[in-house]
Amino acid sequence: MKTSTMKRSYLSETAKKLKPSGIRKFFDLASQMEGVISLGVGEPDFVTPWHVCEASLDSLERGYTGYTSNAGLLELRTEIVKYLQGKFNLTYDAEDEVIVTVGASQAIDVALRAILDSGDEVLVVEPCFVAYSASVSLAGGVPVAVPTSAESEFKLLPEQLEQKITEKTKAIILCFPNNPTGTTMSEQELDNVADIVKKHDLLVLTDEIYAELSYNEEHVSIARFNGMKERTIYISGFSKAFAMTGWRLGYAAGPAEIIQAMLKIHQYTIMCAPTMAQYGALEALKTGMDDVNEMVKSYRQRRNFLVKSFQEIGLDCHLPGGAFYVFPSIKKTGLTSEQFAERLLHEEKVAVVPGNVFGEGGEGHIRCSYATSLSELQEAMNRIGRFTRKYAV
């Protein structure tokens, strides 16, 4: 028998404390079972439009196989600036206010590392994308949950925010349209939040990766309000709206001082985002909006179907304004969200994500992604209906 020569654990306290994502557990389980319909994953069922793939292949053929500048191709940054201006009325300078990253994920990580000192508090509006609190902790900060609730359709109310602000609060992370609730905020509602942010002199990190997937009204960015651009780091990417999750391409835009600090960290740790992916993204921004509009049309139809079906089977479900998730309440079943998800998977072979993994306010709900075909959604809803009838809903 071999004996180890290691006399101690080499893991950092930070790594030891980090909890594995609650989403993965379900996918590992579901992937070992046959015939499962997954409403679990947060990625489009569409493949990247071929002309985008071709642009990337073409860049390889032309021999563009080296690094780009650390901040990303200037041509791509210029196109991002044009897009943000045209679409959301946001004005940035491509030279020093934009950085191209490895997905929105890396933009979030590097933004937090650029702004946080040890012990700084960051408000995290929950339920939310599972990476925020972990990224705050990894950057040495302290995540502080600001729970939202079904009563207000998971919108962030100014008083909920103000209650959690202390003298250590440095920033707040916002994500509308939201993962997992699909909630959007109107212009007036965001303006009210912006007032609190300015009053307490906070920074905002706004993850608007689902901005294109807005079904009820035009998307509004919090960066657009008076006095907000200088205190907002705008984060987005190509994964969702452009169906490019595997390309790993995102970006951040914001005040030059912060973007340049992010760039310093990025150049030492990443160098630059993948070159061939940057050429694909350039094509997506230049000629891909028709593809996005087609996908949005399909998502809207699926959203309407799912919400109606949940209401018909007797589970409360608000009509989300964006993203590709619905977040129905399962409280009437008397099950916890974990029990519901586990039993539904074993008894009916439908994978959903229990709401508790998304933080405070998520318990009593499940996240169902509609980034899957309408026929699969129909079958999933038959199964969920049969399942909930057992619990006398």
CB of 179 to ligand PMP, least distance (A): 4
- In the complex with ligand PMP, the residue whose CB is nearer, 68 or 388, is 68
- Residues forming the site for ligand PMP (CB under 6 A): 42, 103-105, 129, 175, 179, 207, 209, 237, 239, 245, 250
Beta strand 169-174 pairing with 203-207: parallel
Q: Report residue 175 CA to chain centroid gap.
A: 7
CB atoms within 10 A of CB 17: 10
CB of 128 to ligand PMP, least distance (A): 7
Distance between CA atoms of residues 356 and 362, nearest Å = 5
- In the complex with ligand PMP, the residue whose CB is nearer, 99 or 335, is 99
- In the complex with ligand PMP, the residue whose CB is nearer, 367 or 388, is 367
CB of 95 to ligand PMP, least distance (A): 23
- In the complex with ligand PMP, the residue whose CB is nearer, 156 or 335, is 156
- Omega prior to 127 cis, within 30 of 0: yes
Six token digits for residue 60: 């390889």
CB of 249 to ligand PMP, least distance (A): 7
- In the complex with ligand PMP, the residue whose CB is nearer, 105 or 333, is 105
Please list, in sequence order, all residues whose beta carbon lies within 8 angstroms of the beta carbon of residue 45, skipping any fewer than 6 positions away: 371, 372, 373
Annotate 199-215 with b (16+ C-beta within 10 A) or e (fewer): eeebbbbbbbbbbbbbb
**Which helix (H) or strand (E) element contains residue 309?**
helix 289-312
DSSP 160-200: HHHHT--TTEEEEEE-SS-TTT-----HHHHHHHHHHHHHT
Residue nearest ligand PMP, Cβ-based: 103
Q: Which residues are paired to 325 by β-bridges?
A: 369
- In the complex with ligand PMP, the residue whose CB is nearer, 23 or 335, is 23
Residue 350: phi and psi, rounded to 5, are -125, 130
CB of 92 to ligand PMP, least distance (A): 19
CB of 390 to ligand PMP, least distance (A): 31
CB of 258 to ligand PMP, least distance (A): 19
- In the complex with ligand PMP, the residue whose CB is nearer, 161 or 175, is 175
Distance between CA atoms of residues 100 and 80, nearest Å = 9
- In the complex with ligand PMP, the residue whose CB is nearer, 250 or 320, is 250
Q: Is 298 helix (H, G, I), strand (E, B) or coil?
A: helix
CB of 24 to ligand PMP, least distance (A): 12
